[in-house]
């Protein structure tokens, strides 16, 4: 990770747009901060200065940094719009509770712009994961500290508008959605050192149905009850892909020679 041209040397997420030959990376913090309890860390002024404040646009094929963009507040997950023809991505800054838009300018260089606020930044809701709709028209945002799941209308990516919110857990981290957007999945664990204590230390995978207006609980797996550890990240397969897959045919044994 670059440390010159304003780079802070931290890495976190990465996201590729092959049609533009660009790799975007975000930054977060270093090992020492990861190893401390979150409540203790937030009160340490010196430690709070050791968080990332940049994103980098790389030449994908050459794997060389092209542009270091200033994105204050520890930018985390990066999501490109998957709508054909779109050339922009979004990220959320954890410590400032802001949504940022990354897109090329008129000269083809990459620029980052703050475009929306998530919750009340003074309360440090701590946006963690985001999930963009396949048409690029909407974005789910989870905030760890207040346990909220929010939906932003991205019809105009330069001015996202929050249109929905729901409290989905005492603590929430990752969020994913089905390809058709009708199902949303949430897990609870941020990091062992940063998860909440006591009754708020919920560990779960929760599924919801989404009708465009309201999240309705569909199922839950209680990781604590099932002794499964902490529920952090999800990799969910697609039924369409599974049913479209055709297993290779078993090799056919050669026929026995005919008797003479």
Predicted local distance difference test score (pLDDT) of residue 236:
73
Predicted local distance difference test score (pLDDT) of residue 142:
98
User: Three-state DSSP class for 33?
Assistant: helix
Domain that holds residue 153: 77-238
Predicted local distance difference test score (pLDDT) of residue 249:
67
Helices (H), 95-169: none
Paired with 157 in beta bridges are: none
In a domain, 141, yes or no: yes
Paired with 14 in beta bridges are: 25
At 126-180, the pLDDT tens digits run 999 999 999 999 999 999 999 999 999 999 999 999 999 999 999 999 999 998 9
Work out whether the CA dihedral 111, 70, 124, 178 comes out positive or negative: positive
In a domain, 155, yes or no: yes
Does residue 234 have a pLDDT over 90? no
At 83-95, the pLDDT tens digits run 999 999 999 999 9
User: Three-state DSSP class for 245?
Assistant: coil
User: Three-state DSSP class for 226?
Assistant: coil
In a domain, 19, yes or no: no
In a domain, 231, yes or no: yes
Predicted local distance difference test score (pLDDT) of residue 260:
45
In a domain, 216, yes or no: yes
CA distance 254 to 218: 52
> Are the C-beta atoms of 126 and 101 separated by less than 8 Å?
no
Nearest CA to 69 out of 91, 102, 95 is that of 102
In a domain, 104, yes or no: yes
In a domain, 5, yes or no: no
Q: Name, in order, each residue with C-beta under 8 angstroms of 184's C-beta and a sequence gap of 6 or more.
A: 131, 140, 149, 175, 176, 177, 178, 207, 208, 209, 210, 215
Region 227-244 average pLDDT:
76
3-state helix, strand, coil split of the chain in percent (to 5) is: 10, 40, 50
User: What CATH number does the domain containing 167 carry?
Assistant: 2.130.10.10
CA distances, 170 to each of 62, 143, 199 (Å): 44, 10, 8
CA distance 111 to 39: 33
In a domain, 197, yes or no: yes
H-helix or E-strand containing 92?
strand 89-93
Nearest CA to 171 out of 232, 99, 214 is that of 232
Q: Which two tokens stand for residue 205?
A: 């995978």
Number of domains making up the chain: 1
Question: Would you place residue 215 in the very low, low, confident or very high pLDDT band (cuts 50, 70, 90)?
Answer: very high
């Amino acid at each position: 990770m670059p440390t010159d041209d304003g780079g802070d040397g931290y890495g976190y997420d990465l996201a590729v747009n092959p049609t533009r030959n660009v790799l975007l990376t975000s930054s977060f913090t270093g090992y020492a901060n990861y190893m401390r309890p979150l409540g203790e860390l937030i009160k340490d002024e010196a430690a709070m200065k050791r968080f990332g404040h940049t994103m980098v646009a790389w030449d994908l094929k050459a794997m060389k940094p092209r542009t270091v963009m200033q994105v204050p507040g520890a930018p985390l997950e990066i999501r490109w719009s998957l709508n054909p023809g779109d050339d922009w991505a979004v990220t959320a800054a954890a410590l400032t509770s802001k949504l940022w838009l990354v897109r090329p300018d008129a000269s083809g260089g990459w620029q980052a712009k703050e475009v929306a606020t998530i919750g009340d930044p003074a309360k440090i809701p701590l946006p963690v994961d985001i999930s963009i709709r396949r048409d690029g028209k909407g974005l789910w945002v989870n905030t760890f500290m207040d346990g909220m799941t929010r939906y932003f209308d991205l019809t105009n990516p330069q001015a996202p508008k929050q249109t929905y919110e729901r409290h989905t857990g005492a603590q929430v981290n990752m969020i994913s959605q089905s390809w058709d957007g009708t199902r949303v999945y949430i897990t609870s664990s941020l990091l062992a050192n940063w998860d909440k204590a006591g009754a708020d230390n919920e560990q779960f995978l929760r599924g919801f149905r989404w009708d465009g207006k309201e999240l309705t609980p569909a199922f839950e797996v209680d990781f604590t009850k099932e002794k499964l550890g902490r529920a952090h990240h999800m990799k969910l397969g697609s039924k369409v892909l599974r049913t479209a897959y055709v297993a290779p045919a078993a090799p056919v044994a050669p026929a026995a020679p005919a008797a003479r």
